[in-house]
Amino acid sequence: MSSSQEELLQELGKKARVIRSDIIRMVAEAGSGHPGGSLSAVEIVTTLYFHVMRIRPEEPDWPDRDRFVLSKGHAAPLLYAVLAERGYFPAEELLTLRKLGSRLQGHPAFGKLPGVEASTGSLGQGLSISLGIALAGKIDRRDYRVYALLGDGENEEGQVWEAAMAAAHYGVDNLTAVLDYNGLQIDGPVADVLSPLPLPEKWRSFGWEVREVDGHSFEELLAAFEWAKEVHGRPSMIIAKTVKGKGVSFMENAVDWHGKAPDREQAAKALAELEAVTS
């Protein structure tokens, strides 16, 4: 590994630790929210915003920017933490999450906050929105890329598969979807609630190029996003195996933390764990 690559991995790791701590602080302060699925996708979104995507935080409406759509909109604390860390708005505003009059609503709302590309939260719609944005880029002859983050429970929604079919039909190769494959949804294991498995075979059968990665490995994520840029004539799907509640021992792989806020004592314990991580 080159020294520059090692420096990049270290920098991404530092950002991820800050973002995880911010997620805990935000949700604890709000007294509600979704920590589990926010924590599981930290490396994915950090990689996109701090290395992969072509963006200008000081000019959030730049026409040639790459777009990110959080289809699993309940993971809004993750998106807000990343946007603040990237400079879209002051980090002090994070603690207003879900409060009356705040720009940081419980789910992302387009037009409320710089950097939010779509209103999401009704699961299944984000991929269709992303497809529309990607098609518009093709029609307008712009070379931006669109990235959509889906939850694995979200794959139970029929609209996901309509969008998947249409994206392949129209050869939308400027669209990359990432699946946060943590195996749990609000009612329990995804495989037990309404199994969408096997996921790689399903997405390939719908005409997508598919790559599977460790969703907490920056090295694998960086390589996968570079791979996606080289896919031509069809959309790309990155299936990222993750751990729900990653980074906080009592939240990891615990379905109860899908949509529950930690109390003051639990938040202090979680932050102590996160701050103890140095590598």
Q: Give the model confidence (pLDDT) of 145-188 as tens digits.
A: 999 999 999 999 999 999 999 999 999 999 999 999 999 999 99
For 106-144, write each residue's pLDDT tens digit. 999 999 999 999 999 999 999 999 999 999 999 999 999
**Residue 239: beta bridge partners?**
179, 212
Confidence class of residue 16 from pLDDT cuts 50, 70 and 90? very high
Mean pLDDT score, 88-110: 97
**Dihedral of the CA atoms 50, 102, 17, 253 (nearest 10)?**
-110
Query: For residue 279, what pLDDT is reported?
Result: 46
- Distance in angstroms between the alpha carbons of the first and the last residue of the chain: 17
Helices (H) and strands (E) in the chain, counts: 10, 7
For 183-220, write each residue's pLDDT tens digit. 999 999 999 999 999 999 999 999 999 999 999 999 99
Query: For residue 3, what pLDDT is reported?
Result: 82
Q: How far apart are CA 105 and CA 130, in angstroms?
A: 21
Please determine, for residue 104, whether its predicted confidence score (pLDDT) is greater than 90.
yes
Do 40 and 244 touch, CB atoms closer than 8 A? yes
Q: How far apart are CA 193 and CA 175, in angstroms?
A: 28
Q: How far apart are CA 97 and CA 93, in angstroms?
A: 8
Among 217, 273, 213, 201, which residue's Cα sits nearest to residue 240? Answer: 213
Query: For residue 2, what pLDDT is reported?
Result: 81
Query: For residue 92, what pLDDT is reported?
Result: 97
More confident residue, 60 or 3: 60
* Residue owning tokens 């200008």: 56
Please determine, for residue 1, whether its predicted confidence score (pLDDT) is greater than 90.
no
List all residues 6 or more positions away from 157 whose beta carbon is below 8 Å from its beta carbon: 123, 124
- Using a cut of 0.95, tell me whether the model's pTM lies above it: yes
Q: Would you tell me how many other CB atoms lie within 10 Å of the CB of residue 256?
A: 12
- 3-state secondary structure at position 156: helix
Please determine, for residue 29, whether its predicted confidence score (pLDDT) is greater than 50.
yes
Q: How far apart are CA 227 and CA 205, in angstroms?
A: 19
Signed CA dihedral, 234, 238, 239, 244: sign only: negative
Q: How far apart are CA 6 and CA 77, in angstroms?
A: 28
List all residues 6 or more positions away from 198 whose beta carbon is below 8 Å from its beta carbon: none
pLDDT above 70: percentage of residues in the chain:
99
One-letter amino acid for residue 277 of the chain: V
- The count of residues in the chain is 279
Element (H, E) at 75: none
Confidence class of residue 278 from pLDDT cuts 50, 70 and 90? low
Pick the CATH number of 3-276 from 3.40.50.970, 3.40.640.10, 3.40.50.300, 1.10.10.10: 3.40.50.970
Do 209 and 239 touch, CB atoms closer than 8 A? no
Tokens of 111: 């037009």
